[in-house]
Chain A
C-alpha cells in the first residue's frame, strides 16, 4: 500500500505556488497569472530512491494570503509538511518571512517546513547576495517554476523527510 502525505503550499498571492505544483505534477508552465481562490488539490506519487518505496503526495494549493494568520485552519488539518513559497523578485512577499515562519513553528509543531524562493530566473546572484541576511539560514531552496530548476528536488526532499 502506498502511503499518502498531505503537503500544503502557503505564501503570499502571486508568488507562484500553483505554478510550482503544475511544474511538479504536470511538468507544464504558463506565464498567465490566475488567482487561486480556496484550495486546489493535486496528487502525485513519487519514488523515494533511498529506500525504493513510493509515497503519494496530496498537494494542497492554498489561496495566497498577505498574512499567514488569515489562512483557514480547516485547510491545514492533517498536514504532514509545509512548503512556504515567496517571490524572490518581490521583497514584499518575504519581508515578514521570520515572523510567518515563527507562527508556523509555534502552531504546527514538528511539521517540517521547506522555505522556497521562487522565480530565481528573474534575479541575479548579486541580488541574492544582497538579501543574504534575510534568506540565510531560513531559505533552503531557490527554485524556478518557469525553468523547472530545483522543483523536483524540493518535493523529493520533503517527501524523504516525511517518510
Chain B
C-alpha cells in the first residue's frame, strides 16, 4: 500500500546515473535529462570533469551543492552527490533544486545589491568630503597668499597719503585705499566661507563697547556714503547698553556688510542705519539693527535668493561686481548668534534689512577701553630695539617704512629662523615681530625655543604676524608663548598698537 502512495507522491526531481571508473555511463533513469549510454559523462557537462581529479575512494561520497547544469536549452540548479559503491560502479545522484535556489537567488540579489549600494554611497560621500576639504584648504591657502601683497598695498597707501602730494595725487591714493579695503573685505568673505564650510567659524565671547563699535562704523561709512553723494542718516537708541558681551568683530561685520550692500545698490537718495534696544531680559539685551536704502530694490521672488552664496540675479549683476557672499555670511552670522534677519523690499522701492540679535549684558568696566596709540606712545623712555623675523620682502619693507616714519625704534631684520636665538642672546631686543611664514621654520618652534632660554632672554615679548586666522591656530601660538597675534593683512595703526603695547 505504501508503495502506491510513494509512487503517487514521489517527487520526480532526482536523476540517478551509474558510471564506471572511467566515466562511461552504464545506466541512467533520465528523470531530468536524457543521457546516451556508454558515452563519457564528462562530455555531458564540464562539471563532471571533476571526476578525473577526484581520487575516488570506494565507499566514499562527495557532495556538491548548488551546481548549475546546462543541458541543451534547460538549466538546472542541482545538488550532486557522487558515491563510489564497488569496483567499477559509481553512482551519481542529481537533485534538481532549481525552484529552491531561484528563491535564494532573489534574496541574495537584494542583499548584495543593498550592500554594494551602501558601499558605493559611502565612497561617494568620502569623495565629496575630500573634495570639500580640498576646496576649503585651497580657499584658505589662497587667501593667505594674498595677505602679504594686500598688507603692503594698505601700508604704502597710508604712508603715501601722509607725504607731500597734490590734491589729485591724494585722490588717487584714496581710490587705491578704497580698492584695498574692498579687496581685503572680499578676501575676508572668502575666508569666512571656508571657515563656515569647514565648521571652523567660532564666535568669541568678549566684552566690548557697543557705543565705540557703532561710532567707528558710522565714522568709516559716513565718508564712503557721502562720497557717493548719498545722504547718511543714523539713529542710535539712547537706551542701548554701552557694554555688551559677545563677538564684536562679527557684529561689526554684519552691520558693515549690510551697509556695504546698501551703498552698492543705491545710486541716489539715502542710506539709513538704526540701532535700537528691543528689550532687556534675563541678563540679555536684544538689539535691533536696521539698514535701509533707496536703491534698486529686490523682486519679492528673489528675497530668499539674495542670502544664497554666489547667487546673483540680473539686476544685481548689472549693478555691482561683488562675488555674492556678503549677505549669505551676514545671515549665517546672525543665525549663529541665535538671531534672525528679514528683508523688506520692492523693485525700485529700496530695501530694508532688519536683524534682531541677543547679547549678554555686562557691567561697565573702565579698563576695557582700548588705549590709543598716542596714549601708549607716551610710555617710551628711550629708543627701543625691534627684531623682525620675516622673509617676505613686501612685509619687511612695509614694517621698515612704518617704523622709520614713526621714529623711536631700531629695527633688525632676520630671514633665517636659525639666527633668531643667537641674535637675542647677542643683542638687546625689546620686541620680536615673528612671521609665521618663514620658509622652513615654524613660528611656534621659534617661540618655544625663545621661551626656553635663560630668564634674561626668555621674557622678550613676541608678536606673531600671522596669516593663520583660525581660532585653533591662534590658540596654538598663544600656548607656545606668543604675547599677541597680528593678523595679516594689517595696517599701520594695528601694527603700531601692538608695538607700543609690548615694548617696555
Contact = CB atoms under 8 A, between A and B. Distances in A.
Given A33-B112, A39-B67, A90-B120, 14 more contacts: A34-B109, A37-B108, A38-B66, A39-B64, A41-B68, A42-B46, A63-B66, A75-B64, A77-B50, A77-B54, A78-B52, A78-B53, A90-B116, A90-B123
B50 A78 contact: yes
Nearest to B106: A35
Contacts of B63: 74
A35 B109 contact: yes
Which among B45, B113, B116 has the highest number of chain A CB atoms within 10 Å?
B116
Contact of A37 (B52, B66, B119): B66
B62 A4 contact: no
Nearest to B108: A35
A14 B111 CA distance: 11
A41 B104 CA distance: 19
A38 B53 contact: no
A86 to B, nearest CB: 13
Contacts of A63: 66, 108
Given A40-B68, A41-B67, A77-B62, A58 B49 contact: yes
Interface in B99-124: 101, 104-105, 108-109, 112-113, 115-116, 119-120, 123
A117 to B, nearest CB: 16
Interface residues of B, number: 28
Closest 10 CB pairs of A and B: A38-B66, A78-B53, A43-B46, A35-B109, A35-B108, A14-B116, A58-B46, A13-B112, A40-B68, A41-B46
13 contacts: A4-B49, A4-B52, A6-B49, A13-B115, A37-B77, A41-B47, A58-B49, A72-B65, A77-B50, A78-B52, A89-B123, A90-B116, A90-B123
Contact of A39 (B49, B53, B66): B66
A64 interface: yes
Chain A interface size range: 20 to 34
Which among A6, A40, A72 has the highest number of chain B CB atoms within 10 Å?
A40
Interface in B34-84: 45-47, 49-50, 52-54, 62-68, 77
Given A6-B50, A77-B53, A37 B105 contact: yes
A37 B52 CA distance: 25
A93 to B, nearest CB: 9
Nearest to A43: B46
Given A6-B49, A41-B47, A64-B112, A35 B54 contact: no
Contacts of B50: 6, 77-78
Given A58-B49, A78-B50, A78-B53, A38 B67 contact: yes
Nearest to B45: A41
Interface string A39-59: 111110000000000000010
Interface of A: 4, 6, 13-14, 33-35, 37-43, 58, 63-64, 72, 74-75, 77-78, 89-92
Contacts of B54: 77-78
B105 A74 contact: no
A38 B101 contact: yes
Contacts of A33: 112-113, 116
B120 A74 contact: no
A124 B45 CA distance: 41
A20 B50 CA distance: 22
A35 B105 CA distance: 7
Contacts of A72: 65
B104 A37 contact: yes
B68 A38 contact: yes
Contacts of A41: 45-47, 67-68
Nearest to B117: A14
Contacts of A78: 50, 52-54
A35 B109 CA distance: 5
B120 to A, nearest CB: 7
A58 B64 CA distance: 16
A58 to B, nearest CB: 5
B68 A6 contact: no
Given A72-B65, A77-B62, A14 B49 contact: no
Interface in B2-61: 45-47, 49-50, 52-54
Given A33-B113, A43-B46, A77-B62, A6 B53 contact: yes
